[in-house]
């Protein structure tokens, strides 16, 4: 659950400032990306955990209302549902994530859903879950030749040795530096058609093996940037499972991300396919 505070001024260390809004909004990187893909028309199933507390049931209900299957979401006792403390000011955000119940996800839980993974066209994974669960998921996907789209956030969780097991990696510029210790264009060149670097309003870039391909972003009337990256990933996955070219898929994802920032909340602005198509000028059908 996202615990959102809006303020005109980010407080400095030791400083107290007044806010002008507090609200709770369904979030979580995995849930956001699942909702983004589902809203565009993909069939999506999510794997994760919530606590048996005041946030758990509303989050499950929200996913179901967004047409995301929650068959593999477990409700656990004696642990809180994960939260993100989100501070918003002047179109920017600062976020602290407390994973909570998702830290109780285990390798055994992943093994129990092997048939679901085997039946999938693509698996999206983020890093707000234990490292051994990430490794088990990657191993299982590779065994069954299931493509993996990994959004490496929080970047500190990422292990570079996983790169060969990942089909698409979607860091932003900062995450590239944290993970690889190198300039993002250099990283993209090192992993052609695999590393797709998101650049906010500037769009995204990747290497096609011969040159850097820059895919421009779209103008937006920004209200809230929370969830823009998650929308990008969900939209990218939605296109890739339809065997769309990477350049076309990234453009689609940029358009979806640009729409998502125009409404409040991580999931509030996630667009439908028709909305993305309209922003693209009717190119995508």
Residue 87, pLDDT > 60, answer yes
Q: Give the residue from 93, 151, 141, 91 showing the smallest Cα distance to 120.
A: 141
Q: Structurally, how many domains does the chain consist of?
A: 1
* pLDDT at res. 97: 86
Q: Is 274 among the domain residues?
A: yes
Q: Is 285 among the domain residues?
A: no
Q: Is 59 among the domain residues?
A: yes
**Band of residue 226 on the pLDDT scale cut at 50, 70, 90:** confident
For residue 60, what is the domain's CATH number?
3.40.1190.20
230 is catalytic: yes
258: Cα within 13 Å, side-chain hemisphere: 24
Q: Are 185 and 205 in contact (CB under 8 A)?
A: yes
Tell me how far apart the alpha carbons of residues 11 and 89 are, in angstroms, rounded to a whole number.
10
Q: Is 228 among the domain residues?
A: yes
Q: Is 284 among the domain residues?
A: no
pTM, two decimals, is: 0.91
Q: Counting Cβ atoms within 10 Å, is residue 124 exposed (0-12), middle (13-18) or buried (19+)? A: buried
Q: What is the pLDDT of residues 184-224, one digit of tens each?
A: 999 999 999 999 999 999 999 999 999 999 999 998 888 88
Residue 92, pLDDT > 90, answer no
Q: What is the pLDDT of residues 6-56, one digit of tens each?
A: 999 999 999 999 999 999 999 999 999 999 999 999 999 999 999 999 999
Q: How many CB atoms are located within 10 Å of the residue 112 CB?
A: 12
Q: What is the pLDDT of residues 244-268, one digit of tens each?
A: 999 999 999 999 999 999 998 889 8
* Residue partners of 40: CB distance under 8 A and separation at least 6: 234, 235, 238, 256, 271, 272, 273, 276
Q: Is 248 among the domain residues?
A: yes
Q: Give exposure, 84-110, as e/b (b: 16+ Cβ within 10 Å).
A: bebbbbeeebebebebbbbebbebebb
Domain hosting residue 180, numbered range: 2-279
Query: How confident is the prediction for the chain on average, in pLDDT?
Result: 94
Q: What is the pLDDT of residues 145-159, one digit of tens each?
A: 999 999 999 899 999
* pLDDT at res. 190: 96
Rg, C-alpha atoms of the chain: 18
Q: Is 214 among the domain residues?
A: yes
Which one of the listed residues 8, 53, 164, 230 is annotated catalytic? 230
Q: Would strands 19-25 and 123-125 be described as parallel, antiparallel, or unpaired?
A: unpaired
Measuring CA to CA, how many Å separate 139 from each of 49, 114, 127?
21, 11, 15
- Coil, strand, or helix at residue 97? strand
Q: Are 146 and 139 in contact (CB under 8 A)?
A: no
Q: What is the pLDDT of residues 109-131, one digit of tens each?
A: 999 999 999 999 999 999 999 99
């Amino acid at each position: 659950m996202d615990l959102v505070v809006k303020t005109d001024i980010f407080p400095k260390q030791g400083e107290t400032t007044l806010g002008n809004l507090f609200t709770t909004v369904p979030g979580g990187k995995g849930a956001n990306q699942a909702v983004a893909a589902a809203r565009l028309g993909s069939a999506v199933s999510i794997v994760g955990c919530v606590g048996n507390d005041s946030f758990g049931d509303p989050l499950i209900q929200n996913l179901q209302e967004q047409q995301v299957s929650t068959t593999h979401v477990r409700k656990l006792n004696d642990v809180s549902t994960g939260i993100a403390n989100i501070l918003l000011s002047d179109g920017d955000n600062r976020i602290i994530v407390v994973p909570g119940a998702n830290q109780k996800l285990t390798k055994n839980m992943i093994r129990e859903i092997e048939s679901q993974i085997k039946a999938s066209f693509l698996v999206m994974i983020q890093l707000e879950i234990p490292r051994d669960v990430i490794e088990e998921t990657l191993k299982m996907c590779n065994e069954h030749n299931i493509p993996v789209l990994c959004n490496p956030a929080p970047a500190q969780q990422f292990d570079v040795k996983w790169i060969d097991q990942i089909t698409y990696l979607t860091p932003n510029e900062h995450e590239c530096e944290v993970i690889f210790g190198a300039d993002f264009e250099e990283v993209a060149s090192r992993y052609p058609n695999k590393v797709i670097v998101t650049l906010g309003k500037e769009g995204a870039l990747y290497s096609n093996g011969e040159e850097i391909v820059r895919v421009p972003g779209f103008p937006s009337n920004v209200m809230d940037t929370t969830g823009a990256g998650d929308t990008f990933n969900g939209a990218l996955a939605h296109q890739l499972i339809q065997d769309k070219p990477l350049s076309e898929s990234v453009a689609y994802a940029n358009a979806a991300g640009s729409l998502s920032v125009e409404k409040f909340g991580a999931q509030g602005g996630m667009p439908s396919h028709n909305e993305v198509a309209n922003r693209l000028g009717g190119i995508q059908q």
